[in-house]
Structure 1
Amino acid sequence: MFPVRRLRWHYRSQHESLIAFSNHTFYGGDLVLFPSPHKKSDSHGIRYSRVSNGCFVSGSRWNLEEAKAIAEAVRKHFEQWREESLGVVAMNAQQRQQIENAIEALAKEDPLFQTWLEEDALGEDPLFIKNLENVQGDERDVIFTLMTYGPSEPGGKVFQRFGPINSDVGRRRLNVLFTRSKKRMHIFSSMGSEDIVAGASAKRGVQALRDFLAFCETGSLHKTERDTGRPPDSDFEIAVMATLRDAGFECAPQVGVAGFFIDVAVIDPGNPGRYLMGIECDGATYHCTKSVRDRDRLRQAILERLGWRIHRIWSTDWFKNPRAELQPIIRELNSLKTFSNQ
């Protein structure tokens, strides 16, 4: 028998919140995730909208209010973000059909929306509308997900019947659903996590659904934070951060999640939710892994694809002449920073 090995580096998601839940719940925190420079951004991460008047009609197995809300969201997406590919996923085939009907009805009322849909259909990654069971293998920049299930009347009780999620493979199907988006995932739900009763004997899919909704509602996943609270790895990193602080730039050490960390992330003084640059220090742990040069080149390429500006400072160069190493970086940071009065 050959030993079993799993690919651990995750590339699809351009914001770590998109994979954080699956990494924690389905992979035991074993994936290596690359932190995004977009800490707070309208274009990246998870969005959550509660459909307050949504109701699940159990006989028909659809939720008309969620279908109407998603149709409006699709129109808004094409109005504002047409360059981004879009997919829509419902929890069952009946709800998928209602979404198609709602979008078609809205397009009949809005000729411009109809034109956008027709143009998009000719593109490389056109809009898709699918249900939970058949979305595997698909990916888009943006995914809209409808929870579909909910109370039978506004404010009513949510019956604990969640279709395929209640099955033995429900947990795996949810994992597929939660990992389809590259830039942004928007969840629409008529129920909250508190509406799902998932005790120790509940199906694992139902437990995962409840925990995912709680994650969407709070943004918290057992302190899965980009600002990790980890101290710098070395005196070298401490010295780099101190010099940058003297130049007017606060820094966060060891930014990242789930096993991969940027040594020093430089905070934009005019927009603290944004990192201007990541600095990798060739410090104490640099020589601890095999093929480290190749791995660093790949790691830097991935981070740059995600929007990071990465600079590397070698310890030997730093100790010879720290000022010469940091002056070009400080000049670049000053050219990149946001002024608070803007």
Structure 2
Amino acid sequence: YRAKQAVIVGDSKQLAPYDLYRARYENETEEEQVALEVESLLDLAKHFYSDTLLQGHYRSRSLDLIDFSNQHFYKNKLQLLPHFQDINESIPAIEYAKVDGVWEQNRNTIEAERVVELVKMLQNEQPNASVGVVTFNYPQQQLIEQLLHETVEQGEGGWKKSFFVKNIENVQGDERDIIIFSVGYAPDVRGRFRAQFGSLNARGGENRLNVAVTRARQKVYVVTSIWPDQLQVETAVHSGPKLLKSYLAYALNVSSGAYRPRPLELHKRPSSWLLKHRLQQTALQKEDIVLEELPFADLTVKKGESYEKVVLTDDELYQQAISVKESHAYIPLLLRAKGWSFERHWSREWWREK
């Protein structure tokens, strides 16, 4: 009521406010009562106002850091332009660190020790990088904090102010250059694996996972005692455990170097309608390597395994832009800012030359 207009901003795929913080009113009408049963102000506003998805993603420096969430939570609508140098280094942005941990009293000591080793290694090898540790429950967070405190007492140095150890319940809003996950779940001392996933198993648990896997700007280390196929989650009521298994499989795929970016899936049209396919045929005659490979460009020019530049046309990517300014100003500016060379081709030029 303090302004003529309001913009309500949020992400329904991340953590919603807890019921603990909801206000209750004694004299509220039945209609107001129904309205207050929604999860948040954001969800309430969706019932009455139109909504718009902000598509640009700027935190992650590489596609493999955000692609999982983009596929499973945002229907492949997020757009990320990675740095040219980063994408050509071909170093996986996710590293799968498998250990032989044991799940005991809701903790995994071997995993915690491996996390501490990684923190010390990163402090020595990348002292300028900010680091955060994310656990899947509070007892594992406490154990890692205890082990880190012991290393400080032994004179192995302290940690930067930006360093944190948190669990998936309270890491929303944070971001660091490097994130280390301690999954924790493992077989017990008898070798039995119990499918107990804490808050991930609850309704909306998948949002906690989404928050956790999108905190890193440059690199993720997944420290885990299990392989993806060890998780038997087919009978899980909610999607959190199933998505955890999918994420572990995705992380293992990226870590092994098997990840490949995919072009943006757009409306299927006959190839003869599209300029990019005509350009591709011309390039093949010249023996150039021109592919539909990256989601932010129509075509990609490669030399061996390295990217050289991208090609932009007035095909579907151009047509789905939210404004003329985006296509003609913002995209060229972003490409130059992130080190990409690019060419622009227009359909009218093609037909003039015919």
TM norm. shorter chain > 0.5? yes
In 2: Cα distance, 1:195 partner to 1:252 partner: 37
1:190 aligned residue: 225
In 2: Cα distance, 1:276 partner to 1:199 partner: 43
Amino acid at match of 1:256: L
Instruction: Evaluate the alpha carbon distance shift between residue 195 and residue 296 of structure 1 in structure 2; reply closer, same or farther with a 3 A threshold.
Output: farther
In 2: Cα distance, 1:160 partner to 1:318 partner: 60
Instruction: Provide, for residues 132-189 of structure 1, a one-character-per-residue CA deviation record: whole Å limited to 9, x for no partner.
Output: 10000001111111101111138x1211111111122311111110111111111110
Corresponding residue SS for 2:298: strand
1:137 aligned residue: 173
**Aligned with 1:45 (options 74, 93, 97):** 93
In 1: Cα distance, 2:316 partner to 2:67 partner: 28
TM-score calculated relative to the size of structure 2: 0.72
The question of 1:152 aligning with 2:188 is answered yes
In 2: Cα distance, 1:147 partner to 1:285 partner: 38
1:12 aligned residue: 59
1:171 aligned residue: 206
In 2: Cα distance, 1:159 partner to 1:191 partner: 12
1:203 aligned residue: 238
1:85 aligned residue: 130
Corresponding residue SS for 1:251: strand
The question of 1:310 aligning with 2:310 is answered no
Corresponding residue SS for 1:24: helix
Amino acid at match of 2:276: S
The question of 1:256 aligning with 2:294 is answered yes
Amino acid at match of 2:294: G
Corresponding residue SS for 1:148: coil
Instruction: Evaluate the alpha carbon distance shift between residue 29 and residue 284 of structure 1 in structure 2; reply closer, same or farther with a 3 A threshold.
Output: closer
Instruction: Evaluate the alpha carbon distance shift between residue 42 and residue 188 of structure 1 in structure 2; reply closer, same or farther with a 3 A threshold.
Output: farther
Which protein has the bigger strand share? 1
Deviation at 1:276, TM superposition (A): 2.7
In 2: Cα distance, 1:256 partner to 1:185 partner: 22
Equivalent residues of 1:237, 1:281 under 8 A apart: no
Instruction: Evaluate the alpha carbon distance shift between residue 93 and residue 197 of structure 1 in structure 2; reply closer, same or farther with a 3 A threshold.
Output: same
Instruction: Evaluate the alpha carbon distance shift between residue 42 and residue 219 of structure 1 in structure 2; reply closer, same or farther with a 3 A threshold.
Output: closer
In 2: Cα distance, 1:233 partner to 1:213 partner: 39
Corresponding residue SS for 2:134: strand
Percent identity of equivalent pairs = 25
Deviation at 1:86, TM superposition (A): 1.0
Alignment of 1:20-39 (within 5 A): 20-34=67-81, 37=84, 38-39=86-87
1:105 aligned residue: 150
Corresponding residue SS for 1:198: coil
In 1: Cα distance, 2:155 partner to 2:281 partner: 60
Runs of 5+ consecutive residues of structure 2 not aligned to the other structure: 1-47, 266-270
Deviation at 1:102, TM superposition (A): 1.9
Corresponding residue SS for 2:297: strand
The question of 1:127 aligning with 2:163 is answered yes
Deviation at 1:320, TM superposition (A): 11
Deviation at 1:74, TM superposition (A): 0.7
In 1: Cα distance, 2:237 partner to 2:177 partner: 33
Amino acid at match of 1:276: E
Instruction: Evaluate the alpha carbon distance shift between residue 311 and residue 235 of structure 1 in structure 2; reply closer, same or farther with a 3 A threshold.
Output: same
Deviation at 1:40, TM superposition (A): 6.5
Instruction: Evaluate the alpha carbon distance shift between residue 54 and residue 41 of structure 1 in structure 2; reply closer, same or farther with a 3 A threshold.
Output: farther
Amino acid at match of 1:292: V
Instruction: Provide, for residues 98-146 of structure 1, a one-character-per-residue CA deviation record: whole Å limited to 9, x for no partner.
Output: 11222233344454xx16x2xx32xxxx111111100000011111111
The question of 1:279 aligning with 2:302 is answered no
In 1: Cα distance, 2:318 partner to 2:303 partner: 27
In 2: Cα distance, 1:146 partner to 1:285 partner: 39
Instruction: Provide, for residues 183-222 of structure 1, a one-character-per-residue CA deviation record: whole Å limited to 9, x for no partner.
Output: 11111101122222212443211111111111122349xx
- Over the aligned positions, Cα root-mean-square deviation in angstroms equals 3.3
**Aligned with 1:300 (options 329, 332, 342):** 332
In 1: Cα distance, 2:154 partner to 2:90 partner: 28
Equivalent residues of 1:166, 1:203 under 8 A apart: yes
Deviation at 1:228, TM superposition (A): 4.4
In 2: Cα distance, 1:229 partner to 1:137 partner: 28
Deviation at 1:17, TM superposition (A): 1.3
Instruction: Provide, for residues 12-69 of structure 1, a one-character-per-residue CA deviation record: whole Å limited to 9, x for no partner.
Output: 2211111111122222333334355444647662111111x21111x3x211111110
